[in-house]
Amino acid sequence: MQMITRPENVKLLTEKTFSLQKSEQLFEQARKYLPAGASSNVRVHMHEPFPVIFEKGVGPKVWDVDGNSYIDYLMAYGALILGHKHPKIIAEIEQQLQQGIMFGTTTEREIELAKIIADAVPCAEMVTFANSGTEATMEALRIARAVTGKDKLLKFEGHYHGHHDYVLFSVDSPSPVSGLESSPAKLPFFPGIPDEVAKTIIVAPWNNVAALERILKKNHNDVAAVITEPVMASQGVIPPESDYLKQLRELTIKYDCLLIFDEVLTGFRIAKGGAQEFYGVKPDIACYAKALGGGAPIAAVAGRRDLMSQIGPGRIGFGGTYNAHPLSLAASKATLETLFKNDGEAFRRMADLGSKLKTGLAETLSAAGYNVVVNAVGPMLSIYFTKLRKVSTYRQALQSSSEKFKRFRDEMLKHGVYMHPDGLERLSISAVHTEREVDETIIAAEESLKALRTQIIS
Active-site annotation, residues: 160, 262, 290
Reduced 3-state DSSP string for 54-90: EEEEEECEEEECCCCEEEECCCHHHCCCCCECCHHHH
Residues in Cβ contact with 275 at an 8 Å cutoff, skipping those fewer than 6 apart: 230, 231, 245, 261, 263, 266, 267, 281
CA torsion 70→73→76→82, rounded to 10°?
Answer: 100
**Which SS3 state, helix, strand or coil, does residue 311 take?**
strand
Nearest to 238 by CA among 391, 379, 362, 388: 391
Distances (CA, A) of 361 to 10, 232, 413: 19, 21, 15
Neighbouring C-beta atoms of residue 97, cutoff 10 Å: 12
CA distance 412 to 437: 13
How deeply is 274 buried, as exposed, middle or buried, from its count of CB atoms within 10 A (0-12, 13-18, 19+)?
buried
CB 374 within 8 A of CB 366: no
Q: How many residues are present in the chain? A: 458
Nearest to 396 by CA among 239, 270, 185, 262: 239
**How many CB atoms neighbour CB 369 within 10 A?**
10
Task: Give the β-pairing of 179-180 and 183-184.
Answer: antiparallel
Separation between Cα atoms, residue 71 and residue 16, nearest integer Å? 16
Helix, coil or strand: residue 32: helix
Cα separation, 163 vs 339, in Å, equals 28
| Residue 151 CB-density burial (10 A; 0-12 exposed, 13-18 middle, 19+ buried) | exposed
Is 283 in contact with 122 (CB distance < 8 Å)?
no
With contact defined as beta carbons under 8 Å apart, do 417 and 427 qualify?
Answer: no
